[in-house]
Structure 1
């Protein structure tokens, strides 16, 4: 069954689920051949908590680009311990990748897209293939930006399925879940960083602005390249 057909079947069979029940169902449907991709950013704790509730050994992929805030790495360690996650896999560019594509570590100044491809997309593609994964979970939500406004619960991307359990959640619901579960916040959020990626390409967000406006500020770039399915269709 190809990914597009599988998406239709999943939508028909599980389209009314969300959160932990959906994650538990997907873990079973895919026989464990599914992983959650997390940046351990400003809103990540909720999805990680739901995954831990579904099953503590839900695989989590964490892309360490080598350009992340130290606060993000410490927050990752805090959440993993707090939630009891037992299968967090750190991935990232290899020394050979960097020697070939970003020898001086300054590629981000020359080409945002090339840097994201080298440090995020390539490691993720490699990890998905190596683990034989048939599906992966994202924390994207429709309210986050105009490019995500039409985000579906399930997407086909190549021969894999992407699952977006929080697609329909709004900011208020996220905040309620943070409070209900007493989840710790990313330490940079209080300082105005509402969408947190690499320190080289992340800025504070102005009050009332698009939460992702601090990413690659001043450029037309809105996505790192990992999530491209909805770009152009959701504007």
Structure 2
């Protein structure tokens, strides 16, 4: 008797979100304040499908506070590049505990890839793009695998002026919830919510990344001027430059 023909499994590879969804959501939430928008999305269309990604940097507390006010069970992803300031790690633990998040997920670079591509741990000094890809982009890609959408903490001022609220990133919806916030808006929220500041901010670090590629910023400089100073580089690779 012949074996019955095996029916191949059909796997749906269509992206969860498309540019049409970006247009729809942009129109739906035009003029809607950030808190209302997040509450609607996190308890509605994106419930169980979204994570917040945070560097726990100088201004990260604002977005995390807004998300926690809606749902403390939203997963929060942190990529530990293993080049992070100790102050950032301590701030992460303090802030996550204070805001009551129940699902903080820490991802690190693949040790096998590190052994292959950054054996000396000095790749940042001659190939910062490759270092970022290895230590940040690849771990974040793994972290986001279970999700259809993610919330970014980018703000739309300075070198990121013109940032949209919604965009598509590798088939996922990316929500730049603070795209229309100014520096004054952020400072006002820090004060109103009595949020702790990153300990390095007072030392001249308005934007905090990895230790080798973060320097102090002089008065009048763009807040991100201390990131990859001396290199033709403004983003780590998890975000496209804003034009």
Q: Which has the larger Rg?
A: 2
Consecutive aligned runs of 4 or more in structure 1 exceeding 3 Å deviation:
none
- Partner of 2:82 in structure 1? 66
SS in 2 for 1:200: helix
Structure 2 alignment gaps of length 5 or more: 1-15
Residue 123 of structure 1 corresponds to: 139
> Partner residue of 1:217?
229
Normalised by the length of structure 2, the TM-score is: 0.90
Give the superposition deviation at 1:2: 4.2
Distance 1:5 1:87 in 2: 31
Give per-residue Cα distances to partners, 1:21-73, cap 9 Å, x unaligned: 22222222123211111000000000000010011111111010000000000
Q: Please state whether the residue corresponding to 2:51 is helix, strand or coil.
A: strand
TM-score calculated relative to the size of structure 1: 0.93
Alignment length, in residue pairs? 227
Partner SS, residue 193 of structure 1? coil
Aligned to 1:50: 66
| Equivalent-residue separation in structure 1 for 2:185 and 2:61 (angstroms) | 13
- Please give the residue correspondences for 1:154-169 in structure 2 after superposition, counting only pairs within 5 Å: 154-169=166-181
For the pair 1:29 / 2:41, whether they are aligned, the reply is no
For residues 1-235 of structure 1, the aligned pairs below 5 Å read 2-27=17-42, 28-129=44-145, 131=146, 133-145=147-159, 148-228=160-240, 231=241, 234=243
Counterpart secondary structure, 2:106: strand
Q: Take 1:19 and 1:32, find their aligned partners in 2: how far apart are those partners?
A: 19
- C-alpha deviations, 1:67-105, integer Å up to 9, x for none? 000000000011011111111111121211211211111
1-structure distance, mates of 2:97, 2:141: 27
Unpaired runs of at least 5, structure 1: none
